[in-house]
Homo-oligomer: A and B are copies of this chain.
């Protein structure tokens, strides 16, 4: 049966893939079984965060060497989803998702299933528009099929990396007679994330294409998917999709669960998602249980309305520190405190991804022993 494995590895800098290189060289990881990477690099997470591109270039060159396949080809086959910004207690790391064949684990039951897909490139003028949403939705459907997840309810986390415009890309599109939604890169990233979330919601059957307008993006925040995790960056041109869920077609010790986060203080969601996986946090996960945790994936958002539980926050009015950096640092502090580990994926820009002002948390853990 198909079996998923996750290797959570540290890096000394964004171009340091030495841990994975060693695991491949030593035979622990089979390069051909790597299907996706999700990681946190220590950039600023904004338009001018080049740590993502640096990591990806290094990764693909290394895999090209092991697989004897051109890096240019690999980059279109293996989603490498990086979120920049390891604010506060977060530790730069990457989770390597592998899919191979293995014996069914004891106490069988649905196990972690992984599927991936790539869309065609998204034109600068389409970013954040309906064409973008459709492109994402189709790619998500393809990834679900690839993962052999039969029930949409068993999908727990859909990671999409969407392209955005830079000032230069927008100018080129305008010169070509096109009309990008915006020339402001930070705004474009927000629209791209919104389009990704809508696309996931459509693909998961949570949202009918007919009931929203293009104008709903970044405006009607009642539309959301608590299973969508969208990043956006200058270094991709296509939508890259990783679907994670549980499936009876997969064996192995890993399972995934998720919970929406109501706001940036929703520690209950973190404790609950761990309980879904039979892990107790009182208040922190024990050292033994911490070893069962394979990876932690979080999306969060500075509340647009300027308040959290009735009290003013200052994230959106700060000219010195980007609001996404603020909220990532805060929510990572909370989640890492419960987990007892800074190697968590906390990504900002959660527009339409979980409750407005909140987000979501997903955890993958082993049924027993260590992940």
Contacts and interface: CB of A to CB of B under 8 A. Distances in A.
Interface of A: 10, 12-15, 42-51, 53-54, 57-58, 61, 86-93, 166-168, 171, 183-186, 234, 264-268, 270-271, 281-284, 304-309, 311-322, 325-327, 329-334, 336-338, 340-343
A317 B86 CA distance: 11
Given A312-B92, A330-B332, A321 B87 contact: yes
Given A320-B44, A329-B333, A265 B340 contact: yes
Interface of A is mostly: loop
Given A12-B168, A87-B321, 20 more contacts: A10-B311, A13-B50, A14-B50, A15-B54, A54-B54, A57-B58, A87-B330, A90-B313, A91-B311, A91-B313, A166-B306, A171-B305, A184-B316, A185-B317, A267-B337, A308-B342, A320-B320, A330-B333, A331-B333, A334-B334
B326 A87 contact: yes
A304 B47 CA distance: 16
A166 B316 CA distance: 9
Contacts of A284: 265, 267-268
Nearest to A327: B88
B89 A312 contact: no
Given A61-B61, A331-B333, A334-B333, A314 B265 contact: no
A342 B43 CA distance: 25
Contacts of A327: 88-89
Contacts of A234: 13
A333 B88 contact: yes
